Amino acid sequence: MTIPGNVLTDLPKNLPDELITTLLESANVRIERIVSHGHASAPDFWHDQEQHEWVIVLKGTARLRFEDGTVEINPGDFINIPAHKKHRVEWTTPDEPTIWLAVHYDTR
Amino acid sequence: MTIPGNVLTDLPKNLPDELITTLLESANVRIERIVSHGHASAPDFWHDQEQHEWVIVLKGTARLRFEDGTVEINPGDFINIPAHKKHRVEWTTPDEPTIWLAVHYDTR
């Protein structure tokens, strides 16, 4: 048996854009690795998603903005973002890659 | 806004048994943090689960046994275990806590 991949070590050297890799795709759930390196959402862009999203930061630091406030996320921190709760990535550290896991799921 | 928790830092000092904490429970998905410290499945016990399980190790090292072989899992390694694929935790390192994230999901 072999391990299909490693989210911490399989990193590209250059990262002109945020990198999103689907690790699992199923009927009700999609798990992604997201690698940001100083990236943020485009100015005035807000995510407004059909599915719920549970995210955790494994490495690096990020700031998420919601309509009611901002939260800083450090390694190990997790947060659940209900469907249609508007949010944007305000900032990720320029010092190192920020590695997120995102679990998109629905409740239908 | 506050972060609901941190999977890496909120660790108990003593760990007589494996510690399983549910981080998210929804209709189709349950996300757990599992902390092992030298723990393994009971002798001859095999997990045989109704749901699929996607697991990743965030810290520590573990060995998972399947009927067709054994795999060592290091930080960042992930693996998908389909429903009813028998498996057991053969070993986790005694040197430090092994922290897993497990995403249980079904496809109904």
Tell me, yes or no, if B101 comes closer than 8 A to chain A by beta carbon: yes
Distance (Å, whole) CA B99 – CA B77: 12
| B31 shares contact with chain A (CB less than 8 Å) | yes
Q: Quick check: B82 contacting A, CB < 8 Å? A: no
* Yes or no, beta carbons of B9 and A54 under 8 Å apart: no
Q: A27, B79: Cβ pair inside 8 Å?
A: no
pLDDT-derived band at A3 (thresholds 50, 70, 90) equals confident
Q: Which of A52, A48, A53 shows the shortest CA–CA distance to A101?
A: A53
CA–CA separation, B14 and A18 (whole Å): 40
pLDDT band at residue A15 using 50, 70 and 90 as cut-offs:
confident
Q: State the average pLDDT for chain A.
A: 94
pLDDT for A86: 97
CA dist B57 and B79 (Å) reads: 9
SS3 of residue A30 by DSSP? strand
**A12 or B93, higher pLDDT:** B93
Which chain A positions have a beta carbon within 8 Å of B6's beta carbon? 74, 76-78
Measured distance CA(A50)–CA(A81) in Å, rounded: 11
Give the bridge partners for A69, in sequence order: A66
Inter-chain touch A76–B106, beta carbons under 8 Å: no
8-state DSSP, B47: B
Residue A80: list chain B partners with CB under 8 A: 4, 24
What mean pLDDT do residues A29-49 have? 95
Supply φ then ψ for residue B14, to 5 degrees.
-115, 145
Among A40-54, B6-20, B54-68, B83-97, the minimum mean pLDDT is found in B6-20
B1 and A68 within 8 Å at the Cβ level: the answer is yes
Q: CB A52: neighbour CB atoms within 10 A?
A: 19
Question: How far is residue B56's CA from residue A32's CA, in Å, rounded to a whole number?
Answer: 12
Residue B1 predicted with pLDDT over 80: no
Q: Using a CB-CB distance cutoff of 8 angstroms, which residues of chain A are in contact with residue B76?
A: 6-9, 58
User: What is the structure's pLDDT at A13?
Assistant: 83
Give percent of chain A with pLDDT exceeding 70: 99
Report residue A105 as tokens. Answer: 């799921």
The tokens 């990020």 sit on which residue? A62
Instruction: Give B10-69 pLDDT, tens digit per residue.
Output: 888 888 899 999 999 999 899 999 999 999 999 999 999 999 999 999 999 999 999 999
